[in-house]
């Protein structure tokens, strides 16, 4: 089955397995909802545990052939996938808007970012190097080769339905692994569209299998229990990441985890306030705030607090809110529960003494809207500074010294990304080195780049995606001791 939800783009709505589109074995399907209208826009096959096991079988059948395919040929297919995705960027972006809700501008940005992972890993596929050296004793040579790790289970979230899939599929395919992609149930259509693009690009049958399923726990457990599966790559919440790590531990499966964030954004006293406001707008509002990299806590030095809050508040108040396809800057949140959670966090902060500078209320339905919001005087200890907001709300907090800002920024179990604004680069670098995060943006509100290692420390994750590191996550080093 398929849907013509977006003109000019036929999107299959079944499972992709072994190169064929098949229904779920029990015939089950589930609905996909448009967050802008709360209406059902499609239904998709709901993979069962039997489907999950059949996907492993398909991936296993294709594994040896794909591992033996010349890197240049793998690269050619990935490059073709890049071209196809780029040719259809507007249609894929519209598909993302329809099932995720984000603005069309954000969706188009995501498709371009997503396609770049195919191009970047096409370029990396032919540059997987090993190592050879003499043992310290001089007795033999130490030779290290890198081999594909094996079948990989890829589990992705709904907030970047295209990019989180390609950020895993690109390096896995480049390394010579076959994969099973389990997309988030809110946004399966984009993953299915990516699967169709890869098939059209010439990916052999069984190399990429796509398994939408609302039985995420059961299908993941069944797949990870198959000894042929050697890799788990997960992007999603820290809570689900913990559960999956426990399941993976039972089978000692290599696990890469891209988990939640609670990014601090620091505006030091010597910052260019206009640059900081522009950076905060991107860091907070890209994807309507539904990003793991979203600035969750904005710490501003007392000397620039009034100017920053006024200018930032004005910029947030100027954002238009509405359906993503209607040209709005900010679309709806993904579902009703997301709006409830944002509203709760704002209410808690206000009860504890925070002041609403702009926004602070739900938008009008039937879609899932929340007004862009700035909260000032947010007290330390408010729930909103401890939890991922995942919405268009920015808490502003004051500090007096760099040391205090660093201490506040690090007072969290998360450590994905942080942002620092200062005109003094040496000072910004000193602060960056003291921040407990896997990534830091200096004087800019976005860090994501397919060529750079993306990932977190502490409970924000394990491993890196993107860059050369991203490919190594899908390889094993084999050491061969050689005498000659
Ligand atoms: P989520 O609830 O953790 O779900 C992520 C994926 O895991 C979905 O495919 C979901 O499937 C699946 N899942 C849920 N429970 C599972 C289980 N018990 N076993 C196996 N799979 C399970 O996260 P989300 O709400 O989709 O995404 C938002 C989160 O992702 C945020 O915390 C955000 O920070 C994080 N994120 C992190 C990064 C990063 O790079 N660090 C990037 C983007 C997002 P169903 O949809 O079917 O439940």
Q: Which residue has the tokens 């052999």?
A: 204
117-142 mean pLDDT: 97
Is any ligand 1 atom within 6 A of the Cβ of residue 185?
Answer: yes
pLDDT by residue (tens digit) across 244-264?
A: 999 999 999 999 999 999 999
Annotation marks residue 292 as catalytic:
yes
Residues 274 and 179 in one domain: no
Q: Is 421 part of a structural domain of the chain?
A: yes
The pLDDT score that the predictor gives to residue 484 is: 84
Residues 201 and 334 in one domain: no
Residues 160 and 270 in one domain: no
Q: Is 455 part of a structural domain of the chain?
A: no
CA 97, distance to chain mean position in Å, is 16
In the reported structure, the alpha carbon of residue 64 is separated from the centroid of ligand 1 by a whole-number distance in angstroms of: 30
Q: Tell me if 112 sits within 8 A of 85, measured CB to CB.
A: no
Residue identifier of the C-alpha nearest atom 22 of ligand 1: 216
Q: Of residues 89, 99, 124, 258, which has the active-site annotation?
A: 258
Residues 13 and 68 in one domain: yes
Residues 36 and 58 in one domain: yes
Residues 305 and 422 in one domain: yes
pLDDT by residue (tens digit) across 288-310?
A: 999 999 999 999 999 999 999 99
Q: Is the pLDDT of residue 365 over 90?
A: no
Is any ligand 1 atom within 6 A of the Cβ of residue 405?
Answer: no
Residues 113 and 185 in one domain: yes
Decide: residue 364, CB within 10 A, 0-12 exposed, 13-18 middle, 19+ buried: exposed
Number of domains the chain is built from: 2
pLDDT by residue (tens digit) across 197-226?
A: 999 999 999 999 999 999 999 999 999 999
Q: Is 10 part of a structural domain of the chain?
A: yes
Q: Please give the span between the terminal C-alpha atoms of the chain, in angstroms, as a whole number.
A: 59
CA distance 88 to 93: 8
418-433 mean pLDDT: 98
Q: List the domain range (segments joined by +) for residue 250.
A: 2-260+460-482
Q: Using a pLDDT cut of 90, give the percent of the chain over it.
A: 99
Q: Is 365 part of a structural domain of the chain?
A: yes
pTM above 0.85, yes or no: yes
The pLDDT score that the predictor gives to residue 381 is: 86
Query: What is the domain-level CATH number for residue 162?
Result: 3.40.605.10
In the reported structure, the alpha carbon of residue 72 is separated from the centroid of ligand 1 by a whole-number distance in angstroms of: 33
Q: Is 454 part of a structural domain of the chain?
A: no
Is any ligand 1 atom within 6 A of the Cβ of residue 357?
Answer: no
Q: Tell me if 4 sits within 8 A of 15, measured CB to CB.
A: no
CA distance 350 to 353: 5
Q: Which residue has the tokens 């860059």?
A: 467
Residue identifier of the C-alpha nearest atom 19 of ligand 1: 217
Residue identifier of the C-alpha nearest atom 32 of ligand 1: 237
Q: Is 56 part of a structural domain of the chain?
A: yes
Q: Is 94 part of a structural domain of the chain?
A: yes
In the reported structure, the alpha carbon of residue 159 is separated from the centroid of ligand 1 by a whole-number distance in angstroms of: 9
Q: Is the pLDDT of residue 380 over 90?
A: no
Q: Which residues contact 451 (CB under 8 A, 6 or more apart)?
A: 120, 466, 467
Please tell me what DSSP assigns to residue 378: P
Residues 50 and 179 in one domain: yes
Q: Which residues contact 339 (CB under 8 A, 6 or more apart)?
A: 333, 362, 368, 369, 370, 391
| pLDDT mean across residues, the chain | 98
Taken as a whole, the chain contains a residue count of 484
334 CA closest ligand 1 atom index: 25
Residues 300 and 181 in one domain: no
Residues 345 and 236 in one domain: no
């Amino acid at each position: 089955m398929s849907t013509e939800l977006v003109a000019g783009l036929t999107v299959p709505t079944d499972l992709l397995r072994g190169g064929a589109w098949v229904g779920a074995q029990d015939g089950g399907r589930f609905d996909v909802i448009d967050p802008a209208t709360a209406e059902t826009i499609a239904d998709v096959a709901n993979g069962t545990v039997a489907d999950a096991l059949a996907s492993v079988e398909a991936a296993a059948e294709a594994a040896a052939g794909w591992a033996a395919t010349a890197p240049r040929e793998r690269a050619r297919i990935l490059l073709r996938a890049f071209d196809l995705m780029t040719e259809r960027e507007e249609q894929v972006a519209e598909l993302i808007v329809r099932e995720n809700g984000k603005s069309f501008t954000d969706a188009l940005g995501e498709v371009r970012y997503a396609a770049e992972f195919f191009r970047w890993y096409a370029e990396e596929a032919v540059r997987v190097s090993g190592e050879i050296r003499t043992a310290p004793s001089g007795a033999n040579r130490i030779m290290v080769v890198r081999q594909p790790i094996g079948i990989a289970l890829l589990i992705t979230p709904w907030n970047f339905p295209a990019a989180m899939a390609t950020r895993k599929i690109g390096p896995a395919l480049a390394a010579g692994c076959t994969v099973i992609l389990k997309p988030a149930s809110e946004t399966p259509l984009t993953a299915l569209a990516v699967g169709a693009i890869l098939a059209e690009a010439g990916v052999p049958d069984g190399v990429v299998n796509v398994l939408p399923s609302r039985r995420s726990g059961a299908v993941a457990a069944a797949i990870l229990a198959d000894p042929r599966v050697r890799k788990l790559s997960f992007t999603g919440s820290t809570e689900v990441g913990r559960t999956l790590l426990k399941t993976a531990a039972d089978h000692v499966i290599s696990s890469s985890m891209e988990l939640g964030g609670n990014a601090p954004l620091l505006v030091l006293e010597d910052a260019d306030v206009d640059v900081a406001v522009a950076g905060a707008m991107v860091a907070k509002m890209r994807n309507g705030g539904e990003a793991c990299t979203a600035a969750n806590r904005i710490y501003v030095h007392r000397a620039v607090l009034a100017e920053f809050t006024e200018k930032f508040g004005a910029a947030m108040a100027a954002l238009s809110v509405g359906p993503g396809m209607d040209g709005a800057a900010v679309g709806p949140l993904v579902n009703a529960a997301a709006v409830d959670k944002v509203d709760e966090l704002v209410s808690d902060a206000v009860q504890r003494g925070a002041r609403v500078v702009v926004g602070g209320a739900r938008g009008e339905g039937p879609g899932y809207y929340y007004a862009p919001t700035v909260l000032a005087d947010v007290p330390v200890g408010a729930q909103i500074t401890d939890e991922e907001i995942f919405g268009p709300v920015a808490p502003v907090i004051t500090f007096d010294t760099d040391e205090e800002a660093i201490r506040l920024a690090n007072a969290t179990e998360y450590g994905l990304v942080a942002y620092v604004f200062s005109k003094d680069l040496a000072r910004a670098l000193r602060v960056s080195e003291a921040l407990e995060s896997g990534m830091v943006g200096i004087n800019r509100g976005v860090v994501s780049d397919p060529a750079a290692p993306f990932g977190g420390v502490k409970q924000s994750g394990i491993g890196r995606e993107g860059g050369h590191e991203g490919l190594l996550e899908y390889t094993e080093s084999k050491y061969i001791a050689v005498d000659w």
